[in-house]
Amino acid sequence: MTYILAIDQGTTSSRAILFDRDMRIRDVAQEEFPQHFPASGHVEHDPADIWNTVLRTSRAVISKAGLGAGDVLAIGITNQRETTLIWDRATGAPIHNAIVWQDRRTAPICEALREAGHEPMVTAKTGLLLDPYFSGTKVRWLLDNVEGARARAEAGELLFGTVDCYLIWKLTGGRVHATDATNAARTLLYDIHKGGWSSTLCDLLDIPADMLPEIRDCAGDFGATEAEIFGEPIPILGVAGDQQAATIGQACFEPGMMKSTYGTGCFALLNTGATPVASQNRLLTTIAYQFGGERCYALEGSIFVAGAVVQWLRDGLKVIASAPESQPLAEAADPSQQVILVPSFTGLGAPYWKPDCRGAIFGLTRNTGPAELARAALESIGFQTRDLLEAMQADWPGGGAQSVLRVDGGMTANDWGMQFLSDIIGAPVDRPEILETTALGAAWLAGMQVGLYPDREAFAGTWSRERRFEPLIAPEVRDARYAAWKRAVQATISA
């Protein structure tokens, strides 16, 4: 038997998953790592934690399966996007902690650029908005705030990369400084129409172009690992940002297909095919995937807090000991209470883009308790998803968007939450047999590139549904609940 190793480097943990020749999971290894919050709105990761957890889990899953490096045909990498690292070209030493995608410290930079009238040009080139979410302003902040960084960057001593790029550089012993088109498209530095780095954007953000990695297809040659890492070299043949990898893993290859992934945040992508669709509703126009130099585009809506709201119940309020406890707690909530939680702990994402907004709870009574808060937390994910889907339908009314939403990610195991999602969006929600669609997407890229896995059409034919959730509530109830959510959001923004 031969296997594909998928490295899934996420916001709160690193995972390594072995897939066999039939794309079934053989073994999994996972390790959480610390989150660092040095100031309000600041979120960082120690690059050593990112690297060491990837190294340990990758070695562990091969060992756990009783295999050796010779049994692994190729590696696929998927990663938390927009998280930004800068390191020394010669030594590999990072100049600072990684600045995480959730971090809001560059809001003043974004605001200054917006006030100077640059956002229309930036959006036209990148499909993105001027928001701290993206990598470019994080690079600018690091160069301006780490002592000596700008001079070193201008001297060609420093490299920039998102997490995929950093892992490739480390795995190949510094021989390969490359990223894929999906990660490049999240930097504020990449022209999604021309398919390359933009000198105009680099100049705008004052970032030396020599720092930037080479851009490659999602399925391509990203070098091979150093022999001593696993015992012998393994080629790295697939790379995609986590949400694009999930889109691939869900086989959303046809225009109009939609998926929504529920991890720390929630990210919905609508495949729009070979033509980029400019959003009029503050969604993002992005790259879904790139094969053979040909780009497929998508509309994307980003929610910053999805699974993180359940973590907040567990770690912040301590009303649950583990995430699965949120389901029976929500089921036990008093139905007469309509508590609404707006979980804008790190700002509001699409379609609002309010980085300074903070969370709020509405409808509290003397009888409100942990059960009602758990239900409100799960409902907030459904409400935010409807925000995204309504914006997508408005942006692409004649594009043939399908009514079925494919879902994946850890939170989709929560049946109550998925039923509410179907209820509030008024459409079927399909949960696949393989929930690890992000890792599956990365594995398929590498396995397809090496010739082990089938082509796109045949791969799409292997997708199978584990359960479909159908809407059960009346349209007038659905709309009344959603109207209450919209009022709560506007009150939160105005606070």
- The DSSP string of 317-365 is S---SSGGGHHHHHHTS-TT---EEE--BTBB-TTT-BTT---EEE---
The answer, yes or no, to whether residue 75 has pLDDT greater than 90, is yes
Claim to verify: residue 144 and residue 288 sit in the same structural domain: no
Claim to verify: residue 18 and residue 81 sit in the same structural domain: yes
CATH code, 355: 3.30.420.40
Are 49 and 100 spatial neighbours (Cβ–Cβ below 8 Å)? no
Closest CA to 431 of 414, 448, 395, 406: 406
Number of structural domains, the chain? 2
Look up the pTM and report it. Answer: 0.87
- In whole angstroms, give the CA distance from residue 225 to residue 461: 32
Mean pLDDT of 196-209: 96
Mean pLDDT of 169-197: 96
pLDDT at 394: 86
The answer, yes or no, to whether residue 400 has pLDDT greater than 70, is no
The answer, yes or no, to whether residue 448 has pLDDT greater than 90, is yes
> What value does the mean pLDDT of the chain take?
92
Pairing of strands 72-79, 236-241: parallel
pLDDT at 121: 95
Over the stretch 342-371, which tens digit does the pLDDT of each residue have? Answer: 998 878 888 887 877 888 999 999 999 999
Claim to verify: residue 109 and residue 190 sit in the same structural domain: yes
DSSP track, 32-92: E---B-SSTT--EE-HHHHHHHHHHHHHHHHHHTT--GGGEEEEEEEE-SS-EEEEETTT-
Q: Which of 216, 242, 268 is the last residue of a domain?
A: 242
The answer, yes or no, to whether residue 401 has pLDDT greater than 60, is no
Over the stretch 274-315, which tens digit does the pLDDT of each residue have? Answer: 989 988 888 999 999 999 999 999 999 888 888 888 888 898
The answer, yes or no, to whether residue 223 has pLDDT greater than 60, is yes
Residue 443 in any domain: the answer is no
pLDDT at 477: 94
Residue 455 in any domain: the answer is no
pLDDT at 439: 94
pLDDT at 238: 97
pLDDT at 410: 82
SS3 label, residue 194: coil
Residue 166 in any domain: the answer is yes
- In whole angstroms, give the CA distance from residue 171 to residue 300: 30
Residue 442 in any domain: the answer is no
Mean pLDDT of 20-36: 93
Q: What CA–CA distances, in Å, run from 102 to 35, 98, 185?
A: 11, 11, 17
pLDDT at 361: 93
Mean pLDDT of 4-21: 95
Confidence band of 200 (pLDDT split at 50, 70, 90): very high
Claim to verify: residue 225 and residue 275 sit in the same structural domain: no
Are 437 and 249 spatial neighbours (Cβ–Cβ below 8 Å)? yes
Q: Which of 223, 242, 261 is the last residue of a domain?
A: 242
Pairing of strands 429-432, 405-408: parallel
The answer, yes or no, to whether residue 89 has pLDDT greater than 60, is yes
Claim to verify: residue 31 and residue 124 sit in the same structural domain: yes
Claim to verify: residue 331 and residue 222 sit in the same structural domain: no
Residues in the chain: 495
Residue 457 in any domain: the answer is no
DSSP assignment, residue 413?
Answer: G
DSSP H/E element including 216: strand 214-216
Residue 375 in any domain: the answer is yes
Mean pLDDT of 315-323: 86
The answer, yes or no, to whether residue 434 has pLDDT greater than 90, is no
Claim to verify: residue 171 and residue 276 sit in the same structural domain: no
Judged on CB neighbours under 10 Å (0-12, 13-18, 19+), 103 is buried
223 or 393, greater pLDDT: 223
Instruction: Spell out the residues 6+ positions from residue 477 whose beta carbon is closer than 8 angstroms to its own.
Output: none
- In whole angstroms, give the CA distance from residue 205 to residue 189: 9
pLDDT at 435: 81
Over the stretch 95-139, which tens digit does the pLDDT of each residue have? Answer: 999 999 989 899 999 999 999 999 999 999 999 999 898 999 999
Claim to verify: residue 184 and residue 255 sit in the same structural domain: no
Claim to verify: residue 188 and residue 278 sit in the same structural domain: no
Least confident range from 185-189, 261-265, 366-370: namely 261-265
Confidence band of 402 (pLDDT split at 50, 70, 90): low
Claim to verify: residue 85 and residue 219 sit in the same structural domain: yes
- In whole angstroms, give the CA distance from residue 6 to residue 51: 15
Claim to verify: residue 167 and residue 310 sit in the same structural domain: no
The answer, yes or no, to whether residue 53 has pLDDT greater than 90, is yes
Look-up of token digits 């079925």: 404
Claim to verify: residue 281 and residue 200 sit in the same structural domain: no
Residue 444 in any domain: the answer is no
Residue 437 in any domain: the answer is no
Q: What CA–CA distances, in Å, run from 446 to 76, 107, 332?
A: 5, 37, 45
The answer, yes or no, to whether residue 1 has pLDDT greater than 90, is no
Q: Which domain holds residue 358?
A: 251-432+464-495
pLDDT at 479: 94
pLDDT at 413: 87
Q: Which of 242, 264, 285 is the last residue of a domain?
A: 242
Tell me the angle at which helices 437-450 and 242-249 cross, rounded to the nearest 10 degrees. 80
